[in-house]
Amino acid sequence: MFTSRQLLEKLVAFDTTSRESNLALIDFVWRYLSDLGVSCELIHNAERSKANLYARLGPAGDGGVMLSGHSDVVPVDGQNWSVPPFALTERDGKLYGRGTADMKGYIACMLAAVPHFLAQPLTQPLHLAISYDEEVGCLGVRTLLEALAQRAEKPAICLIGEPTELQPVLGHKGKLGVRCEVKGAACHSAYAPQGVNAIEYAARLIQQLTAMGERMAQHRDSRFDPPFTTVQTGIISGGRALNIVPAECAFDFEVRTLPQDDAQAIAAELEAFAQAELLPRMQAIAADSAIHFYPISGYPGLLTDAQSEAARLIAYLTQSSDFSTVAFGTEGGLFHQAGIPSVICGPGSMAQGHKPDEFISIAQLEACDAMLQRLAAWMSQ
């Protein structure tokens, strides 16, 4: 049997940055579970360069609990690490390496607990899921959920082990990323009124976004931080030379919504403004002027009922009903949308995630091991 620390050392050694394949890690997990007598299923991407892993143990039947985590990590490019990012380094009770907190620490605990679950007289099934490409928009888990949707037997609860210092979390905001491309008409800047300045029209769209954000800030939910839906423009490009009226401009913006708000409706409002207010002026000068919007990424928010079975379970496992929310997104909204109520709870802190010298404390790993043992006992009642 491997301890969670031993498994974490093996998992960290796989460079599963989202731009890379995760198949070497998935193959390791496949072999580990197969050696324990647990059958696994792989659900590949279209290129077969990445895969989700799904496994199930315990009795047949509907329901049960799913433990879920993502295998991919964010890049280390440009970060100043004092330790090798893809090797586990122990120092002062902490384990350093990319993904230790987000979220290979949880996956290591999940895998280390499998022999314990197998030794219990489980009265309901345990489902295990490891996804890919969570860090770039929760992309990989969607094919896993599509596969589960075709089956009669589904988990009743999903426990997603994103780093929350093992505090029970019931909610997070949703996100929608959008690219806007503005096509104007170039001319010599000495005759600027004869052209259509794509940068200036993009600026009007961004100004409209800012006004929409100010309006949405009036509707607050104190369970979240910040307590309102936000919009922000993160990238902009356009123009070729100062003496040329720019014919192209593109910008990317994101909407981070309270779970009760509709990100698509916000994007549609901006598009309607573009169609009604800006395009007629642009096309009066150059008929082929255009404004196009393209979704980049997105995932729904999550807000699990504090009285639900999922909430009661995580309160029992953490011995706390002090439920909270997190600012970052997870796959939880997608699981919930698929009819699998979800909660977020895992070892480590996102304060260390995505940073150089990312770490998780040994104490947090041990506490997560204990939490999963409580889950095994609960599932055997």
Q: pLDDT by residue (tens digit) across 191-220? A: 999 999 999 999 999 999 999 999 999 999
Measured CA distances, 8 to 40, 83, 106, 281 (Å): 20, 16, 9, 59
Locus of tokens 């314990």: 116
Q: Residues 371, 373, 375, 378: is their CA dihedral positive or negative?
A: negative
**Residues 362 and 374 grouped into a single domain:** yes
Count of other CB atoms within 10 angstroms of residue 62: 12
Closest CA to 279 of 266, 265, 293: 293
**Residues 254 and 320 grouped into a single domain:** no
**Residues 310 and 285 grouped into a single domain:** no
Residue pLDDT, tens place only, 290-305: 999 999 999 999 999 9
The answer to whether residues 196 and 275 touch, using CB atoms and an 8 Å cutoff, is: no
DSSP string, 127-194: EEEEES--TTTS-THHHHHHHHHT-S---SEEEE---BTT--EEEE-EEEEEEEEEE-B--BGGGGGG
**Residues 124 and 248 grouped into a single domain:** no
**Residues 143 and 246 grouped into a single domain:** no
Is there a cis peptide before residue 110, judged by omega within 30 degrees of 0?
Answer: no
Position 327 scores a pLDDT of: 87
The CATH number of the domain holding residue 254 is 3.30.70.360
For residue 24, the enclosing domain spans 4-172+301-378
**Residues 100 and 117 grouped into a single domain:** yes
Q: Of 248, 272, 299, which closes a domain? A: 299
Count of other CB atoms within 10 angstroms of residue 215: 11
Q: Spell out, as residue ranges, where the chain has pLDDT lower than 70.
A: none
Residue 67 in tokens: 């433990």
Q: Of 299, 331, 347, which closes a domain? A: 299
The answer to whether residues 70 and 131 touch, using CB atoms and an 8 Å cutoff, is: yes
Position 381 scores a pLDDT of: 86
- For the annotated catalytic residues, the residue numbers are 72, 134
Domain total of the chain: 2
Residue 109 in tokens: 């605990």
Q: Of 299, 316, 351, which closes a domain? A: 299
Rounded to two decimals, the pTM is 0.91
The CATH number of the domain holding residue 336 is 3.40.630.10
Locus of tokens 């802190």: 349
**Residues 52 and 140 grouped into a single domain:** yes
What's the CA gap between 258 and 117, in Å, rounded? 37
Position 161 scores a pLDDT of: 98
**Residues 294 and 305 grouped into a single domain:** no
Position 1 scores a pLDDT of: 82
